[in-house]
Chains A and B, each alone.
Chain A
């Protein structure tokens, strides 16, 4: 039963993607650490962190694809789950600073000393323990998605209304996290991290490992997502996307189906955020900005929604484009992004992967038709035999 679930995930394209990711997880750190800086093969540390960041975005786009591409829930607030995962990791990293902060308080992070707080707020307890913090990376986004989804899906909020309230959710969280008295560092967020599990965050080795972890987690989540969408549950998901009332009248609890998918997706987004924070060295309320969540939708659409691989490719390509444009022509980046979205909507409505897939399928169909045409005379007895059957 379980083995069937696992084996189903191993569809051809997913195997290739996972193999590439695992190869990258080994190769990039190796080229960074083991080649001399002047070698042609050397990958500088800043590039390792940059690519690591792309992989986190790719995981976030994959999470969105699960709910949008397969279940038809256009979430415009997935950045919130990403940011919450990031804050959970950030809180762990803050507690690791210990007395090395500017104010040298062994327990309180700097911003709390600055605010004249005497005690650690209750929700900061436990975050000095890595295992607990990592559990929170999953639990906090998962719980928010559960509560939000419980109410939204049960009251059958659908389509554009749902998109708007997801957007409102991330906006509300952004405003809340901006407040100093929330206890998450307010405007500045959490930064100045020193070490993770005892290894210095800035060191080349740590960065290489974080990069490898990002690639491995992305591969793992790809496998999980693939197993989900290829199961009977995945077919029900697509049914919900295409004909929700039909699914309901077949006796499925649509709200449970949506809720499960939304929670799994939120947890994946949380993992992405947690891997993102140590690589960029900061988490602040800006991550909750509605525009961030909308950008994720653009990556997913560019890559091709409902394909799993597409959003990964889309996220990496668009962000690589962003890095290039903001470096070379900073003033036209936003125009390029907007133009890209319009171009994709007009000319590639199925995204890159979706279009390639479609072209491939129609070529196959044309070939099959040509074969049938060529072999029509021989084909007649076969159809008769089939008819006799």
Chain B
């Protein structure tokens, strides 16, 4: 009991016995999962394991039927909606790159910047030199400085993924949830993305959902394998990929 309390106190994100079902289908089955501050974590698992549902619950898109979801050991995320949770400092990247295609790369980042998001604050917003510097900084992190004035629609698939990651950085989140960041990327882009995520994880926690085992090996972090809505195994990539249950449920398929 003491140990649980301690883990909870230290955690950035704390899920305990979270269950949710859609029309009788149990998408999550008493899932428990902890992310510590500054941790980079990878999540694997077969289709329908509940990876995206878990992200939906953390970001307020879906309400769990039962269970505890705490942020920084104090904030009950099940009582908040998407905008609240984003403002608390949880950023989310979707599976399909979702950027504002009819805006320039620069404007995409400007919108994502962690500033007052109220109606009147945005109406009367003017770009300060400080914000400008921040956007420039993010542009160089995501390697898009040379395309800053182009419409996001004209970016390649990989660049859109990076732009979306950049938008999440602009949000200054404490926790970043990244859903399949390297889907559809070339090998070179995948390697660069792994570097980028490692760089980002230096200053905040990152949770990555991914199918690409090579990519996860490149990240070299703790791995959680989900199946049928609960945690199957957790540990280093070698440990998890040698687990017979994981092989049977996921890798062997």
Residues of chain A whose beta carbon lies under 8 Å from any beta carbon of chain B = 1-2, 4-5, 228, 231-233, 235-236, 238-239, 242-243, 245-254, 256-257, 260, 386
CA distance A247 to B82 in the complex (A): 10
Distance (Å) between the CB of B16 and the closest chain A CB?
24
Question: Could you tell me the distance in whole angstroms from the C-beta of A165 to the nearest C-beta in chain B?
Answer: 22
A residues less than 8 Å from B117 (CB atoms): 250-253
Known: A231-B124, A235-B103. A251 touches B110 (CB 8 A): no
**B126 near A238 (CB under 8 angstroms)?**
no
Q: Are B110 and A233 in contact (CB under 8 A)?
A: no
Q: What are the 3 A-B residue pairs with the smallest beta carbon separation, nearest first?
A: A251-B86, A233-B122, A232-B125
B125 touches A242 (CB 8 A): no
| Contact (A250, B171) CB under 8 Å given A231-B125, A242-B100 | yes
A5 to B125, CA, bound (A): 8
Q: Bound state CA distance, A260 and B120, in angstroms? A: 10
**Of B68-76, B91-99, B183-191, B214-222, which binds chain A?**
B91-99
Q: CA of A243 to CA of B107 in the docked complex: distance in angstroms?
A: 14
Report the minimum CB–CB distance from B43 to chain A (whole Å).
Answer: 18
Task: State whether A248 touches B126 (Cβ < 8 A).
Answer: no
Known: A239-B111, A242-B102. A231 touches B83 (CB 8 A): no
Given contacts A4-B124, A239-B103, 17 further A-B contacts (CB under 8 A): A1-B126, A4-B126, A231-B122, A233-B125, A235-B111, A238-B100, A238-B102, A239-B111, A243-B98, A243-B101, A246-B94, A249-B92, A251-B86, A251-B87, A253-B117, A256-B119, A260-B119
Q: Which residues of B contact A1 (CB under 8 A)?
A: 124, 126
Tell whether B112 is near chain A: CB-to-CB under 8 Å. yes
Given A242-B101, A252-B117, CB of A235 within 8 Å of CB of B107:
yes
In the complex the two chains form, what is the Cα distance from A243 to B164 in whole Å?
12
Complex interface: chain A residues within 8 A of B146 (CB): 386
Interface residues of B in 150-199 (CB under 8 A from A): 167, 171
| A239 partner residues in chain B, CB cutoff 8 A | 100, 103, 111
In the bound complex, do residue B98 and residue A5 qualify as a contact, i.e. CB atoms below 8 Å apart? Answer: no
Q: How far is the CB of A254 from chain B (nearest CB, A)?
A: 7
**Contact (A253, B83) CB under 8 Å given A232-B111, A246-B98:** yes
Kindly state the separation between the CA atoms of A251 and B59 in the bound complex, as whole angstroms: 11
A256: B residues at CB distance < 8 A: 118-119
Taking CB as reference atom, which chain B residue is nearest A246? B98
Tell me which residues across on chain A come within 8 A of B1, comparing CB atoms.
Answer: none
Task: Establish whether residues A250 and B123, one from each chain, have CB atoms under 8 Å apart when the complex forms.
Answer: no
Given A249-B82, A250-B112, A252-B83, residue A232 in contact with residue B100 (CB < 8 A) = no
Residues A243 and B111 in contact, CB atoms below 8 Å apart: no
The minimal Cβ–Cβ distance linking A107 to chain B, given in whole angstroms, is: 42
- Residues of chain B contacted by A249 (CB below 8 angstroms): 59, 82, 86, 91-92
Task: Flag if B119 contacts A248 (CB, 8 Å).
Answer: no
Pick from A228, A231, A233, A251 the residue with the most CB of B within 10 Å.
Answer: A251
A252 to chain B: closest CB distance in Å? 5
**Complex CA–CA separation, A238 to B146 (angstroms):** 24
Partner of A251, one of B83, B100, B123: B83
Determine the chain A residues whose CB is within 8 A of the CB of B111 once the complex forms: 232, 235-236, 239, 247, 250
CB contacts (< 8 Å) of B83 on chain A: these are: 248, 251-254
Q: How large is the interface on B (under 10, 10 to 19, 20 to 34, 35 or more residues)?
A: 20 to 34
Closest to A251 in B: B86
Query: Nearest chain B CB to A233's CB is how many angstroms away?
Result: 4
Q: In the complex, what distance in Å separates the CA atom of A280 from the CA atom of B253?
A: 74
Interface centre among A243, A246, A250, A257 (most CB of B within 10 A): A250
> For B123, what are the chain A residues with a Cβ–Cβ distance below 8 Å?
5, 228, 231-233
In whole angstroms, what is the CA distance A254 to B82 when docked?
10
Query: How many angstroms between the C-alpha atoms of A5 and B123 in the bound complex?
Result: 7
A256 CA to B73 CA, complexed, in Å? 30
Cβ of B118: which chain A residues have Cβ within 8 Å of it?
253, 256
> Which of A5, A233, A242 is close to B119, meaning CB atoms less than 8 Å apart?
A233
A253: chain B residues at CB < 8 Å are: 83, 117-118
For this complex, 24 residue pairs linking A to B, each with C-beta atoms less than 8 Å apart, are A1-B126, A228-B123, A231-B122, A231-B124, A232-B123, A232-B125, A233-B123, A233-B125, A236-B122, A238-B102, A242-B101, A243-B98, A243-B100, A243-B101, A245-B94, A247-B111, A249-B86, A250-B86, A251-B171, A252-B83, A253-B118, A254-B83, A256-B118, A257-B119
| A246-B98, A251-B86, A251-B171 known; A238-B124 Cβ under 8 A | no
List residues of chain A with CB within 8 A of the CB of B119. Answer: 233, 256-257, 260
Rounded to whole angstroms, the CA-CA distance of A254 and B126 in the bound complex is 21
Query: Which residues of the other chain, A, contact B114 by a CB distance below 8 angstroms?
Result: 251
On whether A5 and B91 interact (CB within 8 A), knowing A250-B112, A253-B83, the answer reads: no
Q: Is the CB of B124 within 8 A of A5?
A: yes
Cβ contacts under 8 Å, B59 to chain A:
249
Complex CA–CA separation, A232 to B124 (angstroms): 8
Could you tell me if B103 and A238 are in contact, using CB atoms closer than 8 angstroms? yes
B60-83 with Cβ < 8 A to chain A:
82-83
A236 contacts across to B, CB distance below 8 A? 111, 122
Cβ distance A257 to chain B, nearest Cβ, rounded Å: 6
Shortest Cβ gap from A221 to chain B (Å): 16
